[in-house]
């Protein structure tokens, strides 16, 4: 079971309140605070996540249109299914290596800095952050990491070194979440991109996302992380 850290001293918006939702007209909803484990968990439980944007202090985001992958909507092409059979899935065996690969500065649009990597490593050691990894011939070739709280899995980033390796990790994550509580689980991918849309990701308005989030938080963790 994860270890609950000390609570955060920071307050995050309550988007169950229509006035607060209406007042935040942008995806960026705040700056500052810290990346302590309690702060990160409070943010995710409120529908926010951190991401630096080059401004002063940490930036906190809650997209007005949130990217979500319904577990029964994952699109697995014939070629992706073939890749799944060629690769091995592992969970939480190389978390720090997955984060480091996702943080590779050579990647376009890289945003994971040393502070973010250290913060999620602390969460991992407390049992809240997890990696789903793709291995081939004994080498780590792809994967993803994110935060699991009850029935929420908030995906943070993914990477691949061979074709389809990150997609195979996503298929593995969906399989892991597809248990007796699958109907209440919430797989958050932050924003819907054309690439993610091709895998089944849809957009949910912020208010609808927060309602689904509150329901998901009442659901037990998937078996491997309980």
pLDDT for position 53: 80
Domains contained in the chain, CATH given: 18-64 (3.30.70.3550), 68-225 (3.40.630.70)
Alpha-carbon span 196 to 69, nearest angstrom: 9
Q: What is the pLDDT along the chain (226 residues), one digit of tens a residue?
A: 899 999 999 999 988 888 888 888 999 999 999 999 999 999 999 999 999 887 667 999 999 999 999 999 999 999 999 999 999 999 999 999 999 999 998 877 678 999 999 999 999 999 999 999 999 999 999 999 999 999 999 999 999 999 999 999 999 999 999 999 999 999 999 999 999 999 999 999 999 999 999 999 999 999 989 8
pLDDT for position 109: 67
- DSSP string across 152-219: EEEEEEEEESSTTHHHHHHHHHHHHH-STTGGG-EEEEES--HHHHTTT-EEEEHHHHHHHHHHHTTS
Question: Contact, 225 vs 130, CB < 8 A?
Answer: yes
pLDDT for position 17: 85
pLDDT for position 107: 77
pTM: 0.96
pLDDT for position 85: 96
Alpha-carbon span 58 to 175, nearest angstrom: 33
Q: pLDDT tens across 143-160, in order?
A: 999 999 999 999 999 999
Question: Contact, 167 vs 200, CB < 8 A?
Answer: no
Q: pLDDT tens across 16-60, in order?
A: 888 888 888 999 999 999 999 999 999 999 999 999 887 667 999
């Amino acid at each position: 079971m994860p270890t609950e850290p000390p609570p955060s001293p920071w307050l995050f918006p309550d988007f169950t309140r229509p006035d607060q939702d209406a007042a935040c007209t942008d995806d960026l909803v705040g700056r500052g605070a810290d990346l302590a484990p309690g702060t990160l968990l409070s943010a995710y439980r409120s529908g926010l996540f951190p991401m630096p944007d080059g401004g002063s202090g940490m930036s906190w985001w809650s997209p007005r249109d949130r990217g979500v992958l319904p577990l029964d909507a994952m699109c697995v092409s014939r070629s992706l299914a073939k890749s799944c059979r060629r690769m091995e899935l592992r969970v939480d065996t190389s978390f720090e290596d997955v984060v480091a690969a996702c943080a590779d500065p050579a990647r376009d649009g890289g945003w994971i800095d040393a502070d973010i990597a250290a913060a999620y490593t602390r969460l991992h050691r407390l049992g809240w952050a997890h990696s789903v990894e793709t291995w081939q011939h004994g080498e780590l070739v792809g994967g993803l990491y994110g935060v699991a709280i009850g029935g929420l899995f908030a995906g943070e980033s993914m990477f691949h070194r061979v074709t389809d390796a990150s997609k195979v990790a996503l298929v593995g994550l969906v399989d892991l979440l597809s248990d007796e509580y699958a109907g209440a689980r919430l797989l958050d991918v932050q924003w819907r991109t054309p690439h993610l849309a091709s895998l089944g990701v849809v957009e949910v308005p912020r208010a609808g996302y927060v309602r689904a989030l509150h329901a998901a938080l009442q659901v037990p963790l998937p078996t491997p992380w309980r």
